[in-house]
Amino acid sequence: MAVSSDTCRSLNSPYITILMKIADTYGEISYKSFEMTVLQFQNFFKQFKEMASVLETV
Model confidence at 14, pLDDT cuts 50, 70, 90, reads: confident
Task: Give the E-state strand segments of 1-58 in sequence order.
Answer: 15-23, 29-37
| Of 10-14, 28-32, 34-38, 42-46, the least confident | 10-14
Residue type, 23: A
pLDDT at residue 30 in the model: 97
Q: What is the DSSP letter of 12?
A: S
- Cα 34 to its chain centre, rounded Å, is 6
- Cα 36 to its chain centre, rounded Å, is 8
Q: Provide mean pLDDT across the span 30-50.
A: 93
Q: Per-domain residue ranges for the chain?
A: 15-57
pLDDT at residue 26 in the model: 95
Rg (CA), the chain: 15
Residue 5 pLDDT > 90: no
pLDDT at residue 40 in the model: 92
